[in-house]
Structure 1
C-alpha cells in the first residue's frame, strides 16, 4: 500500500476498495488504469471539498493540491471542451495557452450546470479521471512533476491521492509547460 506524505489527517485506502467514494465515471476509468491500486481515496466532509477549506481542515499542503477546471470555446458553431489540471497555487491560462490549444476565438470556464451534466461528476469534485473520451486533458508541467497530489474524486465527499505521472499518463492527457500562471 502506498504511503501518502501529503495526507495530513486523512485516512487513505486504495481507491479500488472504496468505489462508493467515487463518481461512477471515475470508478469505471480507474478500473481501466494500469495500476489502480496506486491511487488512494479518502472520505471527507463534503462541506470542506473546496481546496482551501479542505487543506486547512485536513492538514494537506495547498502546494500538493491540483484543481481540474472544464473550459469551453466555440469554433465554426462547434463547442469544444477540455479539462485543465493546474496546481491549486496557480491559475490556468484560459485565454492564452488553452484558447490556442482548443483553437477557439474565446475560451472560458464551462458553466457549472453544463460541466456537471457532461462529466457526471459533482461541482467541486470534478477530476480528470473519467472525463468524456474525446476531451483533451491539459496537464500543467508542474502537476506532472509532482510525486503526490490531491485531486477531486468526482464527488464532494472524498478526494483522490495520485501521482502527477499517473495523471500525465491518462488517455488524452497532454503535458503543457506554462499552462498555469
Structure 2
C-alpha cells in the first residue's frame, strides 16, 4: 500500500498492525466505529532518530509539515480539582491553553500536563501521544483546521511509527469537540 501522504517505506492499514500499537490505541482501532472505516487509518513505520520535525519532514516528505498534528495533554485546575483533556492542533500552530482551552474546561488555570501524568494516564509514550485511544471520559479539543484535511499525520502511541488519519475522523472520536480558535 502507498501512504496517502508522505514518503514512507512501510504503510499498512492500522487494523493489520495492532501488535505495533500500544494497548489503548490497538483497542480503539479494534473497536473502531464512525463514518471513516478503520482500514483508512494507516500505520507507517518511522525511525525515532528522525523525530525532530525539521529532520522528519526532510526524510519523510516536506508536504508533511502542513499535514501533521500534535496531540498534547493539558490539565485544567479549578478549586481542588483537575480535569485532564487533550488538544489536537496542526504542528505549525500552538494550542491556546491559557485562553480557549482554559475557558472551555471552566478552569481557573490550564497548563500542559507533566510528562509522567500524561504517559501514565494515556498508556502512551511521550512524544507519541495520539487522540486515538485516549481515555473515553476526557474532552478531546480539536482545531477545525485538522478536521478539514484529507489526511493528517499523528502519533501512534509510541515514538516509533505514526498514524495517517482522515481529518474528519477526529471529530467523531469519543469526547471530541471541534473548537474554533484552538490552534493559533
Q: Does 1:146 align with 2:145?
A: no
Where do 4+ consecutive residues of structure 1 move more than 4 Å? none
Correspondence 1:11-90 to 2 at 5 A? 11-34=10-33, 35-59=37-61, 60-90=63-93
1:112 maps to which of 96, 104, 115:
115
Residues 74 and 80, structure 1, Cα contact 8 Å, conserved in 2: yes
5+ long unaligned stretches in structure 2: none
Q: Residues 18-70 of structure 1, C-alpha deviation per residue, up to 9 Å, x if partnerless?
A: 11221110000111112211100011112223433322221152000000000
Residues 71 and 84, structure 1, Cα contact 8 Å, conserved in 2: yes
2:159 maps to which of 153, 156, 181:
156
**Distance of 1:63 and 1:17 partners within structure 2:** 27
What is the DSSP-based 3-state SS (H/G/I as helix, E as strand, rest coil) of the residue aligned with 1:61? helix
Tell me the matched-pair count: 180
What is the DSSP-based 3-state SS (H/G/I as helix, E as strand, rest coil) of the residue aligned with 1:100? helix
TM-score by length of 2: 0.93
Q: CA RMSD in A?
A: 1.4
Between 1:30-39 and 1:139-148, the stretch displaced more is 30-39
**Distance of 2:55 and 2:113 partners within structure 1:** 23
CA drift of 1:113 comes to: 1.1
